[in-house]
Amino acid sequence: EVQLVESGGGLIQPGGSLRLSCAASGFIVSSNYMSWVRQAPGKGLEWVSVIYSGGSTYYADSVKGRFTISRDNPKNTLYLQMNSLRAEDTAVYYCARVLNTVTDLDSWGQGTLVTVSS
């Protein structure tokens, strides 16, 4: 069974850093594209970042230069390092597996809430 479990969210001050983790089971993270998607309170979904199986990474303009996606193959875990956090980064962050095509986010975690506030 495919399972994704995010962790690492919390309350952080503006300008601070946080690292989110997404522990995967039932499949191999490094063999798939993996993505981060976020959802601000009461708002819609926003694509954040993707890492390809080959290691290439891409980011939304809103986080480029501040966020870094990575993975730990032995731990089968996906990460999102978030630096220089802003109030507008407040959201539930979901990790998702990309399966059949580049937009097929077929499996999602339950999400972890990041709140950026002083």
Residues that bind other proteins (CB under 8 A): 35, 37, 44-47, 50, 58, 60-61, 94, 99-111
Name the minimum Å distance from CB 57 to other proteins.
11
Alpha carbons 95 and 40: distance in angstroms, whole number: 15
Name the minimum Å distance from CB 35 to other proteins.
8
Residue closer to other proteins, measured from CB, 13 or 101: 101
Name the minimum Å distance from CB 118 to other proteins.
27
CA 37 remoteness from chain centre: 6
Token pair recorded at residue 38: 């976020």
Residue pair 50/94 in contact by the 8 Å Cβ criterion: no
Alpha carbons 107 and 96: distance in angstroms, whole number: 5
**Pairing of the two strands 10-12 and 112-116:** parallel
| In 42-88, alpha helices (H) | none
Residue closer to other proteins, measured from CB, 25 or 73: 25
Residue closer to other proteins, measured from CB, 57 or 73: 57
Residue closer to other proteins, measured from CB, 31 or 56: 56
